Amino acid sequence: MGSAAASPPPSGKLTQDELKRVAAHRAVEFVEPGMTLGLGTGSTAAHALDRLGDLLRAGALPGVAGVPTSLKTEAHASAVGIPLLPLDAASGARIALSIDGADEVDPDLNLVKGRGGSLLREKMIEGAGERFVVIVDESKLVPRLGCTGAIPVEVIPFGAPHTLGLIRNLFDGLPGFHARLRTVPKTKGDDGSEQPFVTDNGNYIVEMFFEDGIRGDLRNISDRLLRITGVVEHGMFLGMATTVIVANLDGTVAVMGRKK
């Protein structure tokens, strides 16, 4: 993959949030007037939304509109003045560019996304566009997917424990593998009990954990997961990113392109 690096700022090391902002602002430089954008979800993508809002209010990006990947992004984009379109309305104009963060990026620019629970809408919208620019800080670069945390799988609520069992069976005998249903504290009561996390689509999330990341053919693993009845989608975004912008701790920015 090709890369280019910008010069570091005169100050010292940046905080992680500052790194996210640097990467997000660099990604927004790809946006041109009249574009329809896929608007990502998460703390890094939020900086891109703020920057887009600033440029729109300044009149620098006339005709730009966005398709949000979550209800949270929809609310944020509306608050900063980004005109919004539903995915079906955007299909005629074509999504020219999507901008979003990622939980992990491997050397081939495959991604783990959706630890915040928005993976299905993210994959639908970002997969519908012409270009997908991913914005991360260097802590998200990994040798293999699944090295730093969960790989999420969205499942329908009906029979979710059964579907969880089928996912576990898929990796039966793999040392260090485990999977669980994501839960959150109940909104009522203080007895410490939990309930399943519910996505914007009304589904549940199964979290898969690997001791040292996923080894093997990722596309084959993807296909096997998607053949499980009850699985809606998973958080491996394979071959989707066209550009990854990485903000390094020393303030430099690397722009990496997908291998041809």
Q: Residues with catalytic annotation?
A: 122
Q: Residues 183, 217: contact at Cβ < 8 Å?
A: no
Angle at 69 between CA 146 and CA 166, to 5 degrees: 45
Task: Report the C-alpha gap between 142 and 257 in whole angstroms.
Answer: 16
Of the candidates 96, 104, 115, 31, which has an alpha carbon nearest to the alpha carbon of residue 49? Answer: 31
Quickly list DSSP for 100-141.
Answer: E--SEE-TT--EE--TTS-HHHHHHHHHTSSEEEEEEEGGGB
CB neighbour list of residue 134: distance below 8 Å, 6 or more residues apart? 100, 101, 102, 105, 109, 111, 241, 243, 244, 245
Residues sharing a CB contact under 8 Å with residue 162, sequence separation 6 or more, in sequence order: 230
Give the end-to-end CA distance of the chain in Å, rounded to a whole number. 8
Whole-angstrom CA distances from 157 to 69, 107, 118, 166, 197 are 21, 34, 16, 14, 10
DSSP 8-state secondary structure symbol assigned to residue 162: H
Spacing of C-alpha 203 from chain mean position: 17
Helix, strand, coil abundance in the chain, percent, nearest 5: 30, 25, 45
